[in-house]
């Protein structure tokens, strides 16, 4: 027989204050606010680590897109703009979706590890 993962339905939900601070940590650089104010709360720090990983990913992707735009603009002076606008918007939509998902899980009181970010967040020492 297959073993089913047991879910502890009796585990208490974090209080509203912790859930709000955890949700704030997915709003770009605002992850600093819960990091400073709620350092002792494990639930908030779980989401702060993921928010920090998301912020680092945003910086890296924007920098790569900026370099790509500089290269393409140098080589193809007129055609690069519309090409790069598509990638900027795509990256923005991706980061907005991940931020909303993280904020939703944090506000719901869940410690849901986001794909790729969770792996990076585990290794961050904050």
pLDDT for position 4: 43
CA 121 and chain centroid, separation? 10
pLDDT for position 52: 92
> What span, in angstroms and rounded, lies between the C-alpha atoms of 17 and 78?
50
Q: pLDDT tens, 71-118?
A: 888 887 767 777 888 999 999 999 999 999 999 999 998 888 887 777
pLDDT for position 11: 59
Question: How many other β-carbons are positioned within 10 Å of the β-carbon of residue 102?
Answer: 24
> What span, in angstroms and rounded, lies between the C-alpha atoms of 28 and 96?
10
Q: pLDDT tens, 10-51?
A: 457 888 889 999 999 999 888 889 999 988 988 999 999 999
- Residue 116: which of 126, 108, 97 has the closest Cα? 97
């Amino acid at each position: 027989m297959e073993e089913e993962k047991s879910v502890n339905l009796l585990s208490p939900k974090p209080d509203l204050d912790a859930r709000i601070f955890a949700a704030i940590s997915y709003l770009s650089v605002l992850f600093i606010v819960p990091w400073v104010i709620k350092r002792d709360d494990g639930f908030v720090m779980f989401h702060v680590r993921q928010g920090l990983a998301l912020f680092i990913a945003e910086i890296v992707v924007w920098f790569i897109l900026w370099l790509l735009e500089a290269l393409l603009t140098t080589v193809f002076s007129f055609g690069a703009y519309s090409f790069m606008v598509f990638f900027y918007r795509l990256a923005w939509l991706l980061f907005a979706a991940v931020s909303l998902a993280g904020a939703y899980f944090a506000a719901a009181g869940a410690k849901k590890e986001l794909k790729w970010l969770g792996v990076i967040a585990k290794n961050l020492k904050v």
